[in-house]
Amino acid sequence: MKRVKLPNMSKTKTHTEKNYKPTQKAGHSNVSEPLLAVKQKALNTKQDTVTGVIEHLYGKKSNSSSELEKLLKETHLPVKTLAEQVFEVTPKTLNSYKISNNVPMHIRELTIKLSRLYAKGNRVFGTTENFNEWLKKKSYGLGGLKPIDLLNTITGIEMIFDELISIEFGTTA
């Protein structure tokens, strides 16, 4: 039997840690990395949609109050329902947001998600009225909850969207 000498494992090389420095790409001076991530994601999706969302959320070239008006027309929901059940504010507060064009970020986000949800709901149910009727009924796919009770959170809206996809493909009704 021949003996083989193994290397000594007790001696390891030490690594010097480099300080983290944000990367800057050409043409992106003073741009934070999260914004770079958003821009990178924009390359993988429709540029117009992403740009519209960013502009709507951060107030660039967008009128938030007109987005609220547009949502009111799209959903056909009463102002009281939209204000109290969805945005969880009084109708008077919602109106003051529209007048001042100083809409809080969470309401802007919900507005974007609701617009997308209603577009999908209209495709699945044919009309806004049919979709609104479905929103008021208990849904088996949502654990027996009424979808309209879930419209006040991003997660709830996404759950409803997923349920609409299931309905669209005939998985559940």
> What tokens were used for 113?
């998600």
Residue 83 lies in a domain: yes
Residue 103 lies in a domain: yes
Distance of alpha carbon 97 from alpha carbon 172, whole angstroms: 38
In the predicted structure, residue 102 carries a pLDDT above the cut 60: yes
pLDDT of residue 66: 80
Distance of alpha carbon 39 from alpha carbon 57, whole angstroms: 14
Look at the chain and report how many structural domains it folds into: 1
pLDDT of residue 170: 84
pLDDT of residue 99: 86
Mean pLDDT rounded to a whole number for the chain: 78
Residue 3 lies in a domain: no
Residue 109 lies in a domain: yes
CA dihedral 166, 52, 50, 164 (to 10 degrees): 0
Using alpha carbons, select from 154, 151, 72 the residue that is nearest to residue 109: 154
**In terms of pLDDT, which residue wins out, 132 or 24?**
132
pLDDT of residue 68: 85
pLDDT of residue 6: 60
Confidence of residue 122 (pLDDT cuts 50, 70, 90): very high
Distance of alpha carbon 76 from alpha carbon 125, whole angstroms: 15
pLDDT of residue 64: 63
Residue 160 lies in a domain: yes
pLDDT of residue 61: 45
Residue 159 lies in a domain: yes
Whole-prediction pTM value? 0.64
Residue 57 lies in a domain: yes
Residue 123 lies in a domain: yes
- pLDDT per residue over 40-99, tens digit each? 555 555 555 555 666 655 655 456 678 888 998 999 999 999 999 999 999 999 999 888
What domain range is 133 assigned to? 38-168
